[in-house]
Amino acid sequence: MQPSGNSINFNNIYDNITYGILNALVVPSASVNATNNWWGDVSGPSGVGLGTGDAVNANVDYDPWLDAAYPDGKSISFVGAKQDTITDDTLDAIEEADTEVVVDGSANVTAAKYSDNPGSGFTGDIGKYIDVHIDDDTNVTELEIRVYYTDAEIAALDLDESSLRLKWWDGTKWVICSDSGVNPDENYMWAKVRATDTIPRLSDLVGTAFGGSGEPVAEPAVQKLEYGDAPDPTYPSSLLPSDGARHMPTTTEILGLATTADSKNFELDANVPDLDLFDDGLVTTTITAGNSAETVTFEVTDFIAPSPDLRVNILIDLNRDGDWDDVGEHVVVNQPITTTAAGIEEQVVVSSPFSTVGATPGATWLRITLTRHDILNPPWDGTMADAGLGWDEFKFGETEDWEITIEVPPPIAVGGEAYPVNKIAILAPWIALAALLAGSITWLTLKRRRA
């Protein structure tokens, strides 16, 4: 045909023996406009084109073409492509088409990147569509097609990276490649294609579109976990972002006789104190300020005694400021607990003594955490991170929080008068002077009697 002034658009050109369009004038000025035609294959025309449809020769402007027969087809094109003869090596078309093709054998290979989805839509589409074509599969044992992606692309689509696979367009629908997977370390999806035992087969690679797909990131399963339940915020308790101590529901060692297994992470009402119905391990509910050797009593039940080296750590908000991170508030550090008999009867334990000197009287919060491992690098503030332990070390045991009362110490009698403990420091110099004077008078009295 003579191209002068001719435009050939929105036609179905296919099943021709030699050429779909042959431009008899092969000078640039004689180019024919043959865009947006269907050439019998989604990959476009062959000849000077990279597809497998009817052929075109030089100076036929065929790009873009239609991805299906007119009038249903939409305009499509390749945005990058690379072609080479490969023998036991790799066609590197990463720059052109985000693709590598590893060839076991020898073939003339083309890899091209589509501008748009050349087939129908599908779930989990990552937006990458490539075409792989080999002229002759006689000398090929296997092709491995690799389509590369970025972490940002997958994160933006909220896809599970481990689920990524390649699909291929069989002419009517997208089908998962039978031998496909993902390499998350190098960020590519792969599909292996062989002569007989894969879908697609090597004989299908005559203009075959591939696309990447994945499954949405699964919603995290609601875990039944044992948390503390002091008010969160400000105590690190049952809101997961606070990173409070937490354990798996246990049938081994617990505080008291029952464990709650409350699933309270991320719940809006998780900052309501005392949600645990079975906070039953504490015997002591009051402590006294100003005591240099205070203790609390609690109960431990061990169903697999003798126990596997249990440890107890106790936190008390002594200054009542809404946390356990002040000096002296990690009151009991890694106290060993030894149980001797398994069963359903709890063992009463008295804590190691601790100081409440300087404590502020009033209502406050106490935490007891029972684990099989020492808290590393105390003092501890009640969080998993500050404990220096991983989940494996914390999953056994239990954490319970209680609201307790710090009581004002009883008054002390001095010279027949009762003084509150917080007044003793003021009176102490005068009491000492009085004692000194009393001693001096006694000495003078004795001396006179001897005289």
More confident residue, 162 or 43: 162
Burial (0-12, 13-18, 19+ Cβ within 10 Å), 103: buried
Locate the domains of the chain by residue range: 1-76, 78-213, 226-407, 417-450
State mean pLDDT over 32-44: 88
Task: Provide the β-strand partners of residue 132.
Answer: 111, 208
- Residue 299: the pLDDT is 87
| Alpha-carbon distance values, 98 to 86, 204, 211 (Å) | 18, 21, 12
Cβ-proximal residues to 308 (8 Å cutoff; 6+ apart), any chain: 253, 372
More confident residue, 418 or 387: 387
Single-letter amino acid code for the residue at 349: V
| Alpha-carbon distance values, 35 to 15, 190, 197, 375, 386 (Å) | 18, 33, 38, 72, 66
| β-strand pairing of 188-194 with 180-183 | antiparallel
Using the structure block, give the residue that is written with the tokens 């008010």: 231
Per-residue confidence band for 87, with pLDDT thresholds at 50, 70 and 90: very high
CA angle 357–363–369, rounded 5-degree value: 80
- Residue 23: the pLDDT is 85
Nearest to 394 by CA among 368, 375, 366, 367: 375
The domain defined by 78-213 carries CATH number 2.60.40: no
- Residue 67: the pLDDT is 81
- Residue 340: the pLDDT is 67
Using the structure block, give the residue that is written with the tokens 């049952």: 238
Q: Which long-range contacts link 70-73 to residues 24+ away (Cβ below 8 Å)?
A: 70/10, 70/11, 70/12, 70/37, 70/38, 71/10, 73/38
| 345, two tokens | 């009867």
Cβ-proximal residues to 427 (8 Å cutoff; 6+ apart), any chain: 414, 419
Per-residue confidence band for 374, with pLDDT thresholds at 50, 70 and 90: very high
> Distance between CA atoms of 48 and 307, rounded to whole angstroms?
79
Is 407 a residue whose pLDDT tops 70? Answer: yes
Phi, psi of 428 (to 5 degrees): -55, -45
Q: What is the pLDDT of residues 166-221, one digit of tens each?
A: 999 988 899 999 999 999 999 999 999 999 999 999 999 987 799 999 998 876 55
- Residue 281: the pLDDT is 77
Q: What rounded mean pLDDT belongs to the chain?
A: 82
Single-letter amino acid code for the residue at 6: N
Using the structure block, give the residue that is written with the tokens 């009867």: 345
- Residue 217: the pLDDT is 82
| Cβ atoms within 10 Å, residue 383 | 16
Q: How far does Cα 84 stand from its chain's mean position?
A: 42
Is 125 a residue whose pLDDT tops 50? Answer: yes
Is 268 a residue whose pLDDT tops 60? Answer: no
| 369, two tokens | 């955490």
Q: Is the dihedral of CA 103, 108, 114, 117 positive or negative?
A: negative
Is 341 a residue whose pLDDT tops 70? Answer: no
